[in-house]
């Protein structure tokens, strides 16, 4: 389960070729594109179309089976005119990207075509990707709800809208270059969404933010930025946006919270980060990536302004940081109080044990057989109600790459 319906429709992937390292892709098909949720949005997707430029997978499952599926992944890609390639060693490709850094790519299907001139390849980051995905008109969701939030659409995922509206928010969504500073007095808070590409392309937004964050004390309104929103607020606060050599992508990025000392597992997709060296007085680092040490968010020391480079709205990915929407809305309802994140419950006391049985295959990395560790984890889940001999059959089946339910026999 890799969440490809959500990822492919995430506007943050505009202009990118999406490569999935999961060994098999397509086995659960694609949901119905016409199903609408209670907010008037496509229920199972993050926008109204696929934004990725192409999809590369290793083993494509032509047969799909899921209660929610209405078509295959291949049919959906064909329907949207998006190229998809299978039988690609995606783990080898991932290792190359990991060693060499993010790079430009193109899909060639004519084996007899002359060698392309790679010097003429178009760099998506050199185009205004945010302008391509941002709304062109003002849209209101949850009309009549209690808390009024102005949202600047840099390529906003639908799940952000869902997360806010279900929390009793009337959300007014405006284009990326909208002059929102003059209208913020009519709202309880300001939100800036995720989006693709280079934040330096959006200086019109930054200039509006500079007006907002330097407003008089009696005009302060809480501000929350996610992903691209974090980078734009970082620029307005005096930071600089830098291209990361690799970027942070995927559903398991560890992030440290400097306020609470906690670590979160987050979903991310970004190629730029904010250098916080020259932040203006009053601004501090709030989050840091535990892998590469890059900035993952900033906050103001006295005003209710904070950001997150990662995706608290998930879809797809872990929901560990969804509480940040509540943190933002608490500030909208009590704007004079500083931002405070809730602390998770203390860990339970360690059990007094003398022997431990570990199932697994040891440490793995991209390019190795992580499915074996997965089989060990599944074995732990079933061992409470499966006879030991049945458990052994299960493990042997997993390790031989056969379908467990097809050869699941008692000895």
Q: For position 363, what pLDDT does the model report?
A: 53
- Tell me the average pLDDT across 116-145: 92
Tell me: the pLDDT tens digits for 336-360? 777 778 777 777 787 888 888 877 6
Compute the distance between CA of residue 165 and CA of residue 283 in angstroms, rounded to an integer. Answer: 29
Inform me whether the pLDDT recorded for 115 exceeds 60.
yes
- The half-sphere exposure of 183 on its side-chain side, counting CA atoms within 13 A, is 12
* pLDDT: which is higher, 370 or 171: 171
Tokens coding 341: 């994140």
Instruction: Examine the residue annotation and report whether 215 is marked as an active-site residue of this protein.
Output: no
Inform me whether the pLDDT recorded for 401 exceeds 70.
no
Which residue in this structure is represented by tokens 């007899």?
A: 112
Q: For position 358, what pLDDT does the model report?
A: 76
Q: For position 67, what pLDDT does the model report?
A: 93
Compute the distance between CA of residue 124 and CA of residue 189 in angstroms, rounded to an integer. Answer: 32
Compute the distance between CA of residue 295 and CA of residue 227 in angstroms, rounded to an integer. Answer: 11
Compute the distance between CA of residue 180 and CA of residue 208 in angstroms, rounded to an integer. Answer: 7
Q: For position 119, what pLDDT does the model report?
A: 82
Compute the distance between CA of residue 187 and CA of residue 298 in angstroms, rounded to an integer. Answer: 23
**Which are the contacts of 24, defined by CB distance < 8 A and separation ≥ 6?**
58, 59, 60, 61
- The number of angstroms, rounded, from the C-alpha of 294 to the middle of its chain's C-alpha atoms is 16
Phi, psi of 251 (to 5 degrees): -110, 10
Q: For position 407, what pLDDT does the model report?
A: 30
Q: For position 372, what pLDDT does the model report?
A: 45
- Tell me the average pLDDT across 266-290: 95
Q: Is 388 exposed, middle or buried (0-12, 13-18, 19+ CB in 10 A)?
A: exposed
Tokens coding 297: 């968010």
Q: Indicate the average pLDDT of the chain.
A: 87
* Share above pLDDT 70 across residues of the chain, in percent, rounded to a whole number: 87
- Tell me the average pLDDT across 360-366: 55
- Tell me the average pLDDT across 306-335: 93
Range of lowest pLDDT (92-96, 180-184, 235-239, 294-298): 92-96
Counting every residue, how long is the chain? Answer: 411
Inform me whether the pLDDT recorded for 227 exceeds 60.
yes
pTM over 0.85: no
Inform me whether the pLDDT recorded for 82 exceeds 60.
yes
**Which are the contacts of 276, defined by CB distance < 8 A and separation ≥ 6?**
234, 239, 283, 285, 295, 298
Compute the distance between CA of residue 111 and CA of residue 383 in angstroms, rounded to an integer. Answer: 50
Tell me: the pLDDT tens digits for 382-398? 444 444 445 455 455 55
Inform me whether the pLDDT recorded for 237 exceeds 70.
yes
Tokens coding 199: 């934040």
- Its CATH class, for the domain covering 4-122, is alpha beta
Model confidence at 86, pLDDT cuts 50, 70, 90, reads: very high
Q: For position 116, what pLDDT does the model report?
A: 80
Compute the distance between CA of residue 222 and CA of residue 164 in angstroms, rounded to an integer. Answer: 14
Compute the distance between CA of residue 316 and CA of residue 321 in angstroms, rounded to an integer. Answer: 13
- Its CATH class, for the domain covering 129-333, is alpha beta
Compute the distance between CA of residue 396 and CA of residue 331 in angstroms, rounded to an integer. Answer: 54
Distances (CA, A) of 127 to 83, 105, 130, 318, 343: 21, 16, 9, 31, 41
Model confidence at 317, pLDDT cuts 50, 70, 90, reads: confident
Show the DSSP H helices in 259-387 as ranges: 323-333, 371-382
Phi, psi of 328 (to 5 degrees): -65, -45
Inform me whether the pLDDT recorded for 246 exceeds 60.
yes
Model confidence at 21, pLDDT cuts 50, 70, 90, reads: confident
Tokens coding 131: 């302008």
Q: For position 30, what pLDDT does the model report?
A: 97
Task: Please report, for the chain, the start and end positions of each structural domain, with discontinuous segments joined by +.
Answer: 4-122, 129-333, 351-411
DSSP string, 244-261: EEEEEEEEEEEEEETTT-
Catalytic residue among 227, 263, 332, 398: 227
Range of lowest pLDDT (20-34, 181-195, 344-358, 387-401): 387-401
Compute the distance between CA of residue 408 and CA of residue 188 in angstroms, rounded to an integer. Answer: 58
Inform me whether the pLDDT recorded for 400 exceeds 80.
no
Range of lowest pLDDT (136-140, 264-268, 272-276): 264-268
Contact 98, 292 (CB under 8 A): no
338-346: Cβ within 8 A, 24+ apart: 338/302, 338/304, 339/299, 339/304, 339/305, 339/306, 340/259, 341/257, 341/259, 341/260, 343/260, 343/262, 344/262
Q: Is 331 exposed, middle or buried (0-12, 13-18, 19+ CB in 10 A)?
A: buried
Compute the distance between CA of residue 352 and CA of residue 350 in angstroms, rounded to an integer. Answer: 6
């Amino acid at each position: 389960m890799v969440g490809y319906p959500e990822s492919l429709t995430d506007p943050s992937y505009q202009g990118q070729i999406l490569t999935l390292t999961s060994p098999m892709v397509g086995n659960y098909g694609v949901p119905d594109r016409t199903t609408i949720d209670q907010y008037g949005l496509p229920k199972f997707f993050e926008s109204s179309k696929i934004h990725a430029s192409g999809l590369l997978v290793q083993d494509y499952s032509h047969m799909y089976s899921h209660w929610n599926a209405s078509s295959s992944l291949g049919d959906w890609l064909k329907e949207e005119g998006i190229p998809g390639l299978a039988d690609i060693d995606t783990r080898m490709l991932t290792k190359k990207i990991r060693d060499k850094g993010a790079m430009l790519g193109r899909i060639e299907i004519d084996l007899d075509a002359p060698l392309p001139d790679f010097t003429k390849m178009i760099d998506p980051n050199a185009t205004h990707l945010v302008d391509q995905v941002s709304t062109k008109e003002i849209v209101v969701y949850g009309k009549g709800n209690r808390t009024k939030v102005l949202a600047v659409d840099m390529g906003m995922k639908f799940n952000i809208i869902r997360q806010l509206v279900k929390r009793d928010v009337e959300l007014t969504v405006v284009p990326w270059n909208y002059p929102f500073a003059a209208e913020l007095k009519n709202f309880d808070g300001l939100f800036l969404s995720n989006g693709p590409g280079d934040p330096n392309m959006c200086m019109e937004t930054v200039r509006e933010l500079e007006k907002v964050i330097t407003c008089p004390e009696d005009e302060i309104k809480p501000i929350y930025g996610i992903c691209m929103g974090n980078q734009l607020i970082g620029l307005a606060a005096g930071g600089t946006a830098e291209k990361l050599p690799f970027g942070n992508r995927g559903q398991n990025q560890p992030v440290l919270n400097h306020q609470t000392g906690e670590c979160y597992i987050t979903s991310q997709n970004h190629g730029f980060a904010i250098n916080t060296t020259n932040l203006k007085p009053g601004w501090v680092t709030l989050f840091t990536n535990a892998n590469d040490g890059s900035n993952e968010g900033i906050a103001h020391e006295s005003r209710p302004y904070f950001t997150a480079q990662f995706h608290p709205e998930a879809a797809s990915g872990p929901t560990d940081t969804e509480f940040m929407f509540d943190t933002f809305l608490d500030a909208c309802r009590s704007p004079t109080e500083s931002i405070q994140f809730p602390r998770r419950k203390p860990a339970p006391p360690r059990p007094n044990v003398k022997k431990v049985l570990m199932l697994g295959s040891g440490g793995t990395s991209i390019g190795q057989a992580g499915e074996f560790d997965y089989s060990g984890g599944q074995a732990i889940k079933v061992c409470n109600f499966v006879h030991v001999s049945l458990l052994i059959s299960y493990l042997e089946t997993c390790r031989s790459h056969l379908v467990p339910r097809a050869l699941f026999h008692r000895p």
